[in-house]
């Protein structure tokens, strides 16, 4: 619905135009990324887009992960859109249900709902060299033609189950934290929890008071720090106070980014954590089990005020002996001990390096994106991939951050809108990233990552793909990413 014009400052503005004369945009997935993109598209005057959501409701990970204690570890004042900052949160850290309601609130308020086609999963997309359009397939057999295709499926949607012998033999209830069994009452049950990642750090303290016995099987201890803001701090009163709080949180995360490239700062923070752990866990034997043997920051640092207290309760056992097998009645460790349990919960996370799965994406000359990524997933600014014109990713390779991903997503959304504007204003049908631009950008990116704590030799994390290449993390500051995505360099792309 746009055409070109100029305001009194000489800047390009957009004027209403018929839907048939603007690019048709297909967006896969409806979580924070798609809602944010929809806002910025509509703000720019682009209404000819559809969001295809595989589920019956929006929300992404905040819809799917409804386990007890599920919440965000980034303060809500910053884990929110820049265009909807004044939402009144009940606590400094949003719970799963409140974050999901925030997403629905934004979708309703900004007219996104009318653009969503629910219960429609995109299974594949093929670029048509002859027409310059994307031909998109759904699981229901629908064929969609679009000028631009955007993947907004997120990073944490492919569940990782542990490769343990005998999982299918267990006679009790077993499930992954992302598929929580709401119908199972754990009261008085003996429960095994396998995995101590971000989800387990939240649901273990939530279920510990009700279970009879909890066996926590830990492969790798985590750095779990106290939360940035006290849990019961009231929400800021005035608009100015809320803006100031958001800015302060932003700068605190920017300071965290500086630590990754400083050996001295990492050592200082690690020493401080060890003192904190000693104060939190007086028992030397338990503390030894919970002490990481890798440097602070090479894995995701978790935040919780109740993790260490929960593990010291008399009904909790922390087991560090490797799990050997699962039997009909319980979990057997490598020392031969069998612990009979009523239920097994897997807190083993996701496979974030498996970008775009299960969609099959085919670009110019029928090239599969899996072939283009044979050496590990990569993109330019995490957004565009050479050989795949008019295809954009949100939360793509090397855009994950220890801070608010919503900040990154909004910058990506604005960049995509600038690309759409560029196509409309330039009269081109397609824009294709130059291969040399992608190559030089990723060579520099990986060189920077190689100098950070992320590449410590004894640190193996979900940040890395099977080859050891870090394909998920952004190595710099948030402000740097904003600067790099502030405009679209025409010289980076071939237009046709």
pLDDT tens by residue, 34-88 = 999 999 999 999 999 999 999 999 999 999 999 999 999 999 999 999 999 999 8
Q: What is the pLDDT of residue 4?
A: 37
Q: Establish if 340 belongs to a structural domain.
A: yes
Q: Establish if 212 belongs to a structural domain.
A: yes
Tally the residues of the chain.
Answer: 496
265 to 197, 222, 262: CA distances (angstroms): 24, 19, 5
Q: What is the pLDDT of residue 354?
A: 80
Q: Which has more confidence, 391 or 349?
A: 391
Tokens 């690309």, residue? 419
Q: Which residues contact 378 (CB under 8 A, 6 or more apart)?
A: 385, 397, 398, 438, 442, 471
Distance CA 261, CA 30 (A): 35
**179 and 92 in one domain?**
no
**371 and 406 in one domain?**
yes
**135 and 21 in one domain?**
yes
pTM: 0.93
User: Of 346, 368, 402, which residue sits at a domain end?
Assistant: 346
| Contact present, 324 and 154 (Cβ < 8 Å) | no
* HSE value, Cβ hemisphere, 13 Å, CA-based, for 250: 16
Model confidence pLDDT, tens digit, residues 373-429: 999 999 999 999 999 999 999 999 999 998 999 999 999 999 999 999 999 999 999
Q: Establish if 428 belongs to a structural domain.
A: yes
**190 and 61 in one domain?**
no
Q: What is the pLDDT of residue 16?
A: 39
**126 and 39 in one domain?**
yes
User: Of 296, 314, 346, which residue sits at a domain end?
Assistant: 346
**112 and 66 in one domain?**
yes
Residue closest to 153 by CA, chosen among 318, 347, 395: 395
Q: Establish if 246 belongs to a structural domain.
A: no
**189 and 96 in one domain?**
no
Residue 205's domain spans which residues? 167-223+261-346
**285 and 410 in one domain?**
no
**14 and 123 in one domain?**
yes
Tokens 């086609």, residue? 117
Q: Which residues contact 77 (CB under 8 A, 6 or more apart)?
A: 85, 89, 92, 236, 242, 245, 246, 249
Q: Establish if 106 belongs to a structural domain.
A: yes
**218 and 101 in one domain?**
no
Compute how many other C-beta atoms are within 10 angstroms of the C-beta atom of residue 168.
7
Residue closest to 242 by CA, chosen among 87, 446, 447: 87
User: Of 298, 328, 346, which residue sits at a domain end?
Assistant: 346
The DSSP H or E segment spanning 122 is strand 122-128
Q: What is the pLDDT of residue 483?
A: 97
Question: Which CATH number does the domain housing residue 195 bear?
Answer: 3.50.50.60
Q: How many domains does the chain have?
A: 2
């Amino acid at each position: 619905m746009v055409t070109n014009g100029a305001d009194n400052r000489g800047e390009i503005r957009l004027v209403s135009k018929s839907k048939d004369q603007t690019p048709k945009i297909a967006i896969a997935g409806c979580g924070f990324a798609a809602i944010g993109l929809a806002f910025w598209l509509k703000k720019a005057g682009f209404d000819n887009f559809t969001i295809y959501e595989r589920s019956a409701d929006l929300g992404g990970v905040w819809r799917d992960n409804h386990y007890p204690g599920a919440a965000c570890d980034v303060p809500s004042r910053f884990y929110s859109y820049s265009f909807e900052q004044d939402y009144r949160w009940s606590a400094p850290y949003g719970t799963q249900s409140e974050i999901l309601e925030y997403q629905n609130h934004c979708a309703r308020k900004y007219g996104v709902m009318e653009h969503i086609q629910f219960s429609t999963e995109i299974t594949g997309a093929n670029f048509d060299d002859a027409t310059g359009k994307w031909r998109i397939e759904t699981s229901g057999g629908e064929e969609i033609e679009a000028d631009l295709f955007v993947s907004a499926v997120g990073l944490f949607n492919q569940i990782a189950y542990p490769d343990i012998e005998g999982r299918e033999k267990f006679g009790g209830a077993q499930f992954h934290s992302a598929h929580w069994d709401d119908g199972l009452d754990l009261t008085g049950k003996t429960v095994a929890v396998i995995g101590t990642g971000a989800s387990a750090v939240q649901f273990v303290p939530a279920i510990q008071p009700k279970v009879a016995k909890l066996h926590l099987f830990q492969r790798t201890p985590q750095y779990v720090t106290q939360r940035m803001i006290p849990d019961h701090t009231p929400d800021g009163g005035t608009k100015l106070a809320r803006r100031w709080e958001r800015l302060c949180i932003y700068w605190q995360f920017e300071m965290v980014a500086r630590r990754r490239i400083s050996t001295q700062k990492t050592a200082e923070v690690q020493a401080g954590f060890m003192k904190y752990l000693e104060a939190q866990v007086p028992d030397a034997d338990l503390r030894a089990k919970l002490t990481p043997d890798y440097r602070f920051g090479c894995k995701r640092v978790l935040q919780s005020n109740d993790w260490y207290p929960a593990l010291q309760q008399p009904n909790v056992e922390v087991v560090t002996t490797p799990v050997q097998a699962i039997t009909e009645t319980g979990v057997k460790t490598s020392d031969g001990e069998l612990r009979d349990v009523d239920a097994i919960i897997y807190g083993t996370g996701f496979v974030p390096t498996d970008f775009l799965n299960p969609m099959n994406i085919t670009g110019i000359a029928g090239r599969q994106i899996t072939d283009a990524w044979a050496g590990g997933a990569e993109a330019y600014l995490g957004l565009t991939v050479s050989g795949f014109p008019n295809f954009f990713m949100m939360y793509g390779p090397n855009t994950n951050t220890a801070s608010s991903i919503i900040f990154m997503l909004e910058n990506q959304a604005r960049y995509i809108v600038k690309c759409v504007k560029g196509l409309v204003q330039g009269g081109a049908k397609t824009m294709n990233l130059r291969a040399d631009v992608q190559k030089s950008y990723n060579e520099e990116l990986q060189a920077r990552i190689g100098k950070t704590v992320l590449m410590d030799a004894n640190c193996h994390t979900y940040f890395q793909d099977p080859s050891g290449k870090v394909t998920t993390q952004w190595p710099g500051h948030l402000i740097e990413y904003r600067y790099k995505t502030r405009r679209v360099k025409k010289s980076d792309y071939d237009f046709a």
